[in-house]
A and B are shown apart, each in its own frame.
Chain A
Amino acid sequence: MAQAHSHSHSHDHGHHDQESLKQFGFWLFMITDVILFATLFATFIVLRDNTASGPVGADLIEMNGIIISTFILLTSSFTSGLALLSMNKGDKRGLILWLAVSALLGLSFIYLEVNEFIHLVHEGAKISTSAYWSAFYTLVGTHGLHVSIGIVWMTAIIIQLAKRGITPVTKRKVNIISLYWHFLDAVWIFVFSLVYLMEVM
Chain B
Amino acid sequence: MASQNQSHEETGHTHGSLKSYIIGFVLSIILTIIPLVAVLNDLFNRSTTIAVILVTAALQFLVQLIFFMHIREEDKPRYNLISLIFAVLILLTIVIGSIWIMTYNKVAI
Contact = CB atoms under 8 A, between A and B. Distances in A.
A42 B96 CA distance: 8
B84 A201 contact: no
The B interface, classified by DSSP as helix, strand, loop or mixed, is helix
Given A13-B5, A77-B64, A85 B35 contact: no
Interface residues of A, number: 45
**Interface extent on B, as a size class?**
35 or more
A1 interface: no
Given A85-B16, A189-B57, A197-B36, A34 B87 contact: yes
A38 B84 contact: no
Contacts of A183: 69
Contacts of B29: 71, 74
A24 B57 contact: no
Nearest to B86: A31
A31 B57 contact: no
A84 B21 CA distance: 10
Given A71-B32, A77-B64, A189-B61, A42 B94 contact: yes
B39 A42 contact: no
